[in-house]
Chain A
């Protein structure tokens, strides 16, 4: 495959074996975990280790973007959804589609074979010149990526971004809810609360006194009349407030007058 002697120093070997083992362990953990959140964490581990491997292979931009985009944004959104929806219990392992496992196995092996064949074939025709030389062609790793994205792969790049934007728009349309009326802002609600008919503070409690302890009993004002505002609105609006017992009123008045003497 290559006739260039690739000098691999010890540091690189150590990084490779540590990160490769962790990445594979993360992938296995992702598949084998029963809890969805644990699966998400395992795959985050895999992604971070892949990023370290990218950096070790002189692709620092790719490595950092891998962490920012995949670990930081995509996996975080996954976690977010898992936490909101609360997919906590272990998934049921019953096959809902007949022959799914066999099909998955065949397709998985097929994909692996295809990748190995494709990459091996592609690499067979190219000769490696070494990472430093590859990066140096455009004056650096970042410049090299920029050069490729904005010249050779411009169409693919723009198409991908169009696809992503379309998907984002679709998600927004699906999640959109039409409001019938404008949502009252904090300001409007505050003004309404302090207007003439509004009541800025807590409403007075219903007349829960000696003989009654039901909320439909209106509070009594000092002059013996009732305060309808003290009855909860649903009861009030049904005109279901309890009629006042005048014996109570008289009794209260007697007591208060007796005390005041």
Chain B
């Protein structure tokens, strides 16, 4: 894997590799502890509360103490659990969460103990795909946790999360495509250098929005936290987990948050590169400073996660799926077509910007005209359907049409059959007629006939 463009990767001495691995591991654990505290404090502020402020300065050590407490708690394993899978699920979840960070760049080349090395564990031609691959392995942890608990709510949570993550991974992968097209590479370090003059978040704004939406779905965070919807599924996939195993899921969730934020930073916000006013300073993109810019950008995304959680109610599951499949994915595909066309025109036909814009305007006009024609046709169709429906409503529903019990036709209202009416008519329940007609004479039951169909409860 030592291609020419990856000259500096894969040449680190062994101690530096270990150092980087340990540093990334420690950073992720500390970031998790910090994010939990930060989330609790920010959400509290947004809800007019104070939040944890007792342990350590400003309550900073609260999540560390919670972690200790969680690890020392009694572990309860359900009798119906499938033990091997039950054990392995949190391990898969946490391991995958850590692994994804191997290809995230934190900064440019720096000197560590006299060795010139990039601030990134490793990189290879398809490292963004590697993050996707690791994420899809991480889903196994959740799905298996749900299945192996041997209990209904976790199973439902696991099913939901597998459906959700598969759906949103498609939109996520599609949002990468435009970035790949513009960067001409799938390696994280090259994507960052490709954003030198302008960030992809600006020129590929639709991709950015699609990615940010799907990354919330991918991490099971509010408003897309359906796999662990407390009101519906108790705790979702981790309902039956306690003690350290639960802590590992918790850890994985927060690391995944950091991972997707870091990926968003890398792909769309120029990674470690300094934002505009700072980039005027010549030293902004050298040495250890970029690590700070990177951290600030990632924290911005994490703040957005927290803000979303404090603001938005949970979506309904069917709406969530519809949003993913019928909105995000088609829009992504259309946007990729636009980007690819523009790119191809620029590469092959040598069109100027004005010509491309003019062509785009013509295409938009054609699309608008086409959609207007389709729309007016559809309106006419709907009007015809409404007419037919009104006609169907005009003819009353006959539950015994042709002498057989039949369901109502489309548009017809189903009506309950009263035994009394049956008794009065000349239909099948003749033998019950005497006792029914006896009840009929009672004035109390003659109260106004119920028209609404609402059922009790």
Q: Kindly list chain B residues whose C-beta atoms are within 8 Å of the C-beta of A239.
A: 418-420, 439, 445, 449
Question: What is the chain B residue whose CB lies nearest that of A67?
Answer: B133
Binds B, one of A93-101, A120-128, A160-168, A226-234: A226-234
7 tightest A-B CB contacts, nearest first:
A72-B136, A237-B416, A67-B133, A243-B444, A232-B456, A64-B129, A243-B442
Q: Is the Cβ of A60 less than 8 Å from the Cβ of B147?
A: no
A252 CB to nearest B CB, Å: 15
Q: Kindly list chain A residues whose C-beta atoms are within 8 Å of the C-beta of B124.
A: 60
Q: Which of B142-200 contact A (CB under 8 A)?
A: 143-144, 146-147, 155, 158-159, 162-163, 166, 169, 173, 186
Q: Is the Cβ of B147 less than 8 Å from the Cβ of A203?
A: no
Q: Kindly list chain A residues whose C-beta atoms are within 8 Å of the C-beta of B158.
A: 83
Q: Is the Cβ of B410 less than 8 Å from the Cβ of A180?
A: yes
Q: Kindly list chain A residues whose C-beta atoms are within 8 Å of the C-beta of B316.
A: 186
Among the interface residues B135, B410, B454, which one has the most CB atoms of the partner chain A within 10 A? B454
Binds B, one of A13-21, A73-81, A111-119, A151-159: A73-81
Contacts known (A76-B143, A181-B410); A68 close to B450, Cβ less than 8 A: no
Q: Which residues of chain B have a CB within 8 Å of any CB of chain A?
A: 1, 3, 82, 85, 124-126, 129-130, 132-137, 139-140, 143-144, 146-147, 155, 158-159, 162-163, 166, 169, 173, 186, 316, 410-411, 416-420, 439, 442-445, 447-457
Report the separation of the CA atoms of residues A131 and B166 in the bound assembly, to the nearest whole angstrom: 33
Q: Is the Cβ of B137 less than 8 Å from the Cβ of A37?
A: no
Q: Which of B162, B186, B420, B447 touches A79 (beta carbons < 8 Å)?
A: B162
B118 CB to nearest A CB, Å: 18
Question: What is the chain B residue whose CB lies nearest that of A197?
Answer: B452
Q: Is the Cβ of B410 less than 8 Å from the Cβ of A83?
A: no
* Residue A198 lies at the interface, judged by CB distance under 8 Å to chain B: yes
Q: Is the Cβ of B166 less than 8 Å from the Cβ of A73?
A: yes
B232 CB to nearest A CB, Å: 16
Report the separation of the CA atoms of residues A244 and B65 in the bound assembly, to the nearest whole angstrom: 65
Q: Which of B130, B134, B166, B455 touches A76 (beta carbons < 8 Å)?
A: B166
Report the separation of the CA atoms of residues A218 and B445 in the bound assembly, to the nearest whole angstrom: 10
Q: Is the Cβ of A61 less than 8 Å from the Cβ of B126?
A: yes
Q: Secondary structure of the A side of the interface?
A: helix
Q: Kindly list chain A residues whose C-beta atoms are within 8 Å of the C-beta of B166.
A: 72-73, 76-77
Given contact pairs A73-B169, A186-B316, A241-B447, enumerate 19 new A-B contacts (beta carbons under 8 Å): A37-B147, A67-B134, A67-B137, A68-B136, A72-B135, A79-B143, A79-B147, A80-B143, A181-B410, A198-B454, A232-B456, A233-B454, A234-B416, A234-B455, A237-B416, A237-B418, A238-B417, A239-B445, A241-B444
A159 CB to nearest B CB, Å: 21
The 26 sampled A-B contact pairs (Cβ below 8 Å) are A58-B1, A60-B130, A61-B126, A64-B130, A64-B133, A67-B137, A68-B173, A71-B137, A72-B132, A76-B136, A77-B166, A79-B162, A80-B162, A83-B158, A136-B3, A199-B452, A226-B444, A233-B454, A233-B455, A237-B450, A238-B420, A239-B420, A239-B445, A240-B445, A241-B444, A243-B439
Report the separation of the CA atoms of residues A228 and B374 in the bound assembly, to the nearest whole angstrom: 50
Q: Kindly list chain B residues whose C-beta atoms are within 8 Å of the C-beta of A84.
A: 159
Q: Is the Cβ of B126 less than 8 Å from the Cβ of A226?
A: no
Q: Which of A221-261 contact B (CB under 8 A)?
A: 226, 228-229, 232-234, 236-241, 243-244
Q: Is the Cβ of A198 less than 8 Å from the Cβ of B159?
A: no
Q: Kindly list chain B residues whose C-beta atoms are within 8 Å of the C-beta of A37.
A: 82, 85, 147
Interface string of A14-38 (1 = CB under 8 A from B): 0000000000000000000001011
Q: Is the Cβ of B147 less than 8 Å from the Cβ of A83?
A: yes
Q: Kindly list chain A residues whose C-beta atoms are within 8 Å of the C-beta of B418.
A: 237-239
Question: What is the chain B residue whose CB lies nearest that of A245?
Answer: B444
Question: What is the chain A residue whose CB lies nearest that of B155?
Answer: A83
Among the interface residues B134, B449, B456, which one has the most CB atoms of the partner chain A within 10 A? B456
- A interface size (C-beta, 8 A): 52
Q: Is the Cβ of B137 less than 8 Å from the Cβ of A48?
A: yes
Among the interface residues A64, A71, A186, A243, which one has the most CB atoms of the partner chain B within 10 A? A64
Q: Is the Cβ of B169 less than 8 Å from the Cβ of A60?
A: no
Q: Kindly list chain A residues whose C-beta atoms are within 8 Å of the C-beta of B453.
A: 233
* Residue A141 lies at the interface, judged by CB distance under 8 Å to chain B: yes
Q: Kindly list chain A residues whose C-beta atoms are within 8 Å of the C-beta of B411.
A: 181
Interface string of A197-230 (1 = CB under 8 A from B): 1110011000000000001001000000010110
Q: Kindly list chain A residues whose C-beta atoms are within 8 Å of the C-beta of B186.
A: 142
Q: Is the Cβ of B450 less than 8 Å from the Cβ of A228?
A: yes
Contacts known (A67-B136, A67-B137); A197 close to B442, Cβ less than 8 A: no
Q: Is the Cβ of A241 less than 8 Å from the Cβ of B133?
A: no
Q: Is the Cβ of A83 less than 8 Å from the Cβ of B455?
A: no
Q: Is the Cβ of A72 less than 8 Å from the Cβ of B137?
A: yes
Q: Kindly list chain A residues whose C-beta atoms are within 8 Å of the C-beta of B137.
A: 48, 67, 71-72
Contacts known (A141-B125, A181-B411, A238-B416); A68 close to B442, Cβ less than 8 A: no
Q: Kindly list chain B residues whose C-beta atoms are within 8 Å of the C-beta of A65.
A: 129
Q: Kindly list chain B residues whose C-beta atoms are within 8 Å of the C-beta of A218.
A: 447
B97 CB to nearest A CB, Å: 15
Q: Is the Cβ of A241 less than 8 Å from the Cβ of B445?
A: yes
Question: What is the chain B residue whose CB lies nearest that of A142?
Answer: B125
B18 CB to nearest A CB, Å: 15
Q: Kindly list chain B residues whose C-beta atoms are within 8 Å of the C-beta of A83.
A: 143, 146-147, 155, 158-159
